């Protein structure tokens, strides 16, 4: 299985930039597509898709969210951070079965 590694928590100030990293145990790119996706989950809610295929913004997601990276190193950036962004963020790969998730990064306020 492909293992995705995220830092458990990140403390950030409002209106600053947050960068959340995700490292994979194997390359998740194939034919120019990064099979890496990002989700936001607030307490008591279902996850919501933010970024798909590495850098594509999902429908209805604000432009302050962006995704980058390739191969085994990926980043979710939130710039600027707003109060509503306090949540847990998960990366997920779909290059190989089984689809796997990172352990999640809890975004906290400084």
Partner 1 sequence: EVQLVESGGGLVQPGRSMKLSCAASGFTFNNYDMAWVCQAPKKGLEWVATISYDGSSTYYRDSVKGRFTISRDNAKSTLYLQMDSLRSEDTATYYCARITREFAYWGQGTLVTVSS
Q: Which of 23, 29, 58, 75 binds partner 1 (CB under 8 A)?
A: 58
Smallest separation, CB 1 to partner 1 (Å) = 9
Computed on alpha carbons and rounded to an integer, the radius of gyration of the chain in Å comes to 13
Mask for 14-33, x = binds partner 1 (CB under 8 A): -------------------x
Tell the residue number behind the tokens 């933010």, with chain if given. 50
The answer to whether residues 93 and 99 touch, using CB atoms and an 8 Å cutoff, is yes
> Helix H segments across the chain?
none
67: tokens are: 């995704």
The contact set with partner 1 (CB under 8 A) reads 33, 35, 37, 39, 41, 45-49, 52-53, 58, 90, 92, 94, 97-104
């Amino acid at each position: 299985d492909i293992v995705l590694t995220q830092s458990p928590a990140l403390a950030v100030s409002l209106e600053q930039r947050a960068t959340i990293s995700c490292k994979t145990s194997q390359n998740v790119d194939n034919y120019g597509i990064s099979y890496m996706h990002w989700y936001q989950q607030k307490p008591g809610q279902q996850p919501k898709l933010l970024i798909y295929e590495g850098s594509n913004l999902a429908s209805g997601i604000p432009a302050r969210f962006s995704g980058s990276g390739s191969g085994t190193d990926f980043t979710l950036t939130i710039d600027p951070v707003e109060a509503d962004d306090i949540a847990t963020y998960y990366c997920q790969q779909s290059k190989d079965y089984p689809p796997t998730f990172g352990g999640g990064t809890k975004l906290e306020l400084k």
